[in-house]
Amino acid sequence: ATMPPLLAAMANAGRHGVLIKSAVVIERLARVDAVALDKTGTLTEGTPRVVDIRPLPGSGLGGDDLLALAAAAEHPSEHPLGRAIVGAAHQRGLKPAAAKDFVSVPGRGVSATVDGVDVSVGNPDRLLSGLNGQRTAEAANAAADLDRQGRTAVLVTVGGRPAGVLGIADRLRPDAATAVASLAALTGTRPVLLTGDSSRAAVRQAGEAGVTDVRAGLLPQDKVAAVRQMESAGRRVMVVGDGVNDAPALAAAHCGVAMGKAGSDLALEAADAVVVRDELAAIPTAVALARRAERLVR
């Protein structure tokens, strides 16, 4: 028997690297007319590297101490920035201490107790907004300097005080610009970026990929609000993301697509489709396939 068009499209999308969870998703994909992309792990490769380590004078820490403390706190983290920090410590032969009471706050960072001391690692703006006094100005300056260099700055606090800043670099996916252009051509609107990152680096990288509408510094619920706002303006939005922080927006959207390779379990579960071949360009291909199948059905 010949396969019904929607099933054939599911199989075909699978061959192109996009796993579609059910036949109705083909119809939703076909009708997408706006796209909202996450940054880290979606527009970028999501394998960031620590390229700068700056303990603050007065913290009493050297570079390796700072990195080891950060890695201890990040050890259980699924976040790409956390994995970069753990990887960098490992590469330098450091043996981070065991941490207790690990807490991860999407869009903000992590905290844990290391050798009896509270260590937090995360977004400098968010962590510093709750602090004042010792070394906060120095920390903000170091973060701003890294930001100017196009790095993502991550703040480390020890015992509630800024101890240093790490500079992290993540490359754009090689196919980011082509995928963005194809999605823009298919939907008639340019994809927007919804990111938790608040750095200038985020805006610059988005620009390199052809994305000019950048909404930065968003918490998971802000991503949902942005999607709802687009949908109440009549758009059928496809959200593409990979993180725990993207899961609510993936679930709320007309169509959610998760990046599978490094995607978190929550994102994969919340999505309607999963990109299993680690290429952004598989997404416009899947949309085009879905449209063809829909035309056959109607």
Footprint on this chain of ligand ADP (rule: CB under 6 A): 38-41, 74, 77, 79, 81-82, 106-110, 121-123, 152, 154, 195-197, 243, 245
Q: Does 109 bind Mg ion (CB under 5 A)?
A: no
Q: Which of 33, 38, 115, 246 is catalytic?
A: 38
Residue 123 binds Mg ion (CB under 5 A): no
Nearer residue to ligand ADP within complex by CB, 23 or 216: 216
Instruction: For the chain, give the secondary structure using H, E and C.
Output: CCCCHHHHHHHHHHHCCEEECCHHHHHHHHHCCEEEECHHHHHECCCCEEEEEEECCCCCCCHHHHHHHHHHHHCCCCCHHHHHHHHHHHHCCCCCCCEEEEEEECCCEEEEEECCEEEEEECHHHHHHCCCCCCHHHHHHHHHHHHHCCCEEEEEEECCEEEEEEEEECCECCCHHHHHHHHHHHHCCCCEEECCCCCHHHHHHHHHCCCCCEECCCCHHHHHHHHHHHHHCCCCEEEEECCHHHHHHHHHCCEEEEECCCCCHHHHHHCCEEECCCCCCHHHHHHHHHHHHHHHHC
Q: Which does 279 bind (CB under 5 to 8 A by kind): Mg ion, ligand ADP, none?
A: none
In the list 37, 38, 193, 263, the residue contacting Mg ion (rule: CB under 5 A) is 38
- Applying CB under 5 A, among 12, 40, 59, 285 the residue interacting with Mg ion is 40
Binding residues for Mg ion restricted to 172-191, rule: CB under 5 A = none
The nearer residue to ligand ADP, 123 or 157, going by C-beta atoms, is 123
45 in contact with Mg ion (CB under 5 A): no
33 is catalytic: no
In the complex, the residues that contact Mg ion under the rule CB under 5 A are: 38, 40-41, 242-243
Q: Which positions are annotated as active-site residues?
A: 38
